Amino acid sequence: MTLEKSYVARVTAEAAAIHALDAALSETLPDEGVALAAFENPDRSWTLSLHFAGPPNEAAVRALVALSGGAALANALRFEPLAAKDWVAAALDGLTPVAAGRFLVHGRHHRARLRGHRIGIEIEAALAFGTGHHGTTRGCLTALDGILRRLAPGARVLDVGTGTGVLAIAAARALRRPVLASDVDGRAVAVARQNIRNNGVAPLIDIVHAGGLQGRRFRAAGPFDLIFANILLGPLRLLARPMAGLVSSGGRVVLSGLLAAQAPAALAAYRAQGLVLERRILLEGWATLVLKRPSHCRRQQRPIKCQ
């Protein structure tokens, strides 16, 4: 999925500030006419680009950025017109392939770098979170690499907040099993569907546009042996109970989208539902938590009890 944009606003800062701003703006910007792209620079700083279909209201955009990320980021915004072009391809062309365990996330331009022992995941859309370069995405892929050998042949997988679909694609390609993926953002669902087709796993991945986990399709497809939720602390805490109700006995939940300092709060919410910490992965100040539902736990209405 590619879009032509005529104006862009850019701001560069440390990774944590850019990703926090990216997440905040994703919730507040209109669905049409504006797109976000975050990428890492050679000096390890990150840049967030806001692409506009027409001339933006610069004062309004700065005010929104100030509200979401502070006055310093708002003042650092630089606006400029763009010649009509495929900005998604331009942004991703400079991103190098990223390895995480047996997985290699790459763009179309880097297919030749894929080696036989790697599971390649081709991601070409920057409108949704998950090019593989962010520490949370790499943390989840690293967690998946460690979990694969412990999953039963008929394992069921759920990817909550799928973004570009990178985790759902990785699980489908590694397990050759059906995966259910969801996202609250309709743009992300469209991006993920295209990436799923590009990776040849469309028959294996069912993707739904949904907020929360209360829908009939989640209950029908579960219980799940592996659940990914690479989102934010707030939604993760709200989803703790329904997610715990969907994980199978002995199943695992991989949580990310967390700054290292936020990990204890997320862990507390899921421990209250009977899940136990199995592994903690720290990358670039971001935390990925692998939790397990002990096989001697039984599901209750509230909360899960372990005998």
In the numeric block, which tokens belong to residue 261?
């300092």
Task: Determine the Cα–Cα distance for residues 285 and 10; give it in Å rounded to an integer.
Answer: 23
User: Residues spanned by CATH 3.40.50.150 within the chain?
Assistant: 96-306
Which class for 154: exposed (0-12), middle (13-18), buried (19 or more C-beta within 10 A)?
exposed
Radius of gyration of the chain (CA): 19
pLDDT of 126 higher than 60: no
Helices (H) and strands (E) in the chain, counts: 11, 16
Give whichever of 82-91, 114-123, 166-175 has the largest mean pLDDT: 166-175
pLDDT of 44 higher than 50: yes
In terms of pLDDT, which residue wins out, 62 or 125? 62
CA distances from 85 to 55, 127, 138 (A): 16, 15, 29
User: Residues spanned by CATH 3.30.70 within the chain?
Assistant: 7-92
pLDDT-based confidence at 302, cuts 50/70/90? very low
Q: In the prediction, which pLDDT does 41 show?
A: 78
Contact criterion met (CB below 8 Å) for 283 and 135: yes
Give 163-214 pLDDT, tens digit per residue: 889 999 999 999 999 999 999 888 888 888 989 998 999 999 999 998 889 8
In terms of pLDDT, which residue wins out, 157 or 304? 157
pLDDT-based confidence at 45, cuts 50/70/90? confident
Q: What is the DSSP string of 175-225?
A: H-S-EEEEES-HHHHHHHHHHHHHTT-TTTEEEEE-SSS-SHHHHHH-SEE
- For residues 9-31, give the mean pLDDT: 82
Give 146-158 pLDDT, tens digit per residue: 999 888 888 999 9
In terms of pLDDT, which residue wins out, 98 or 294? 294
pLDDT-based confidence at 81, cuts 50/70/90? confident
Give whichever of 6-10, 108-112, 125-129, 274-278 has the largest mean pLDDT: 274-278
Task: Determine the Cα–Cα distance for residues 64 and 58; give it in Å rounded to an integer.
Answer: 10
pLDDT of 231 higher than 90: no
Look at the pTM and tell me if it is higher than 0.85.
Answer: no
Task: Determine the Cα–Cα distance for residues 124 and 2; give it in Å rounded to an integer.
Answer: 9
pLDDT of 51 higher than 60: yes
pLDDT of 5 higher than 50: no
**Domain 7-92 carries which CATH code?**
3.30.70
Q: List, in sequence order, every residue forming a beta bridge with 79; answer none if it has no partner.
A: 9
CA 107 to chain centre: 17
pLDDT of 97 higher than 60: yes
Q: In the prediction, which pLDDT does 277 show?
A: 96
Q: Report the mean per-residue pLDDT for the chain.
A: 81
Kindly state which CATH superfamily the domain 96-306 is placed in. Vaccinia Virus protein VP39 (3.40.50.150)
Q: Collapsing DSSP states into helix, strand and coil, what is residue 306?
A: strand
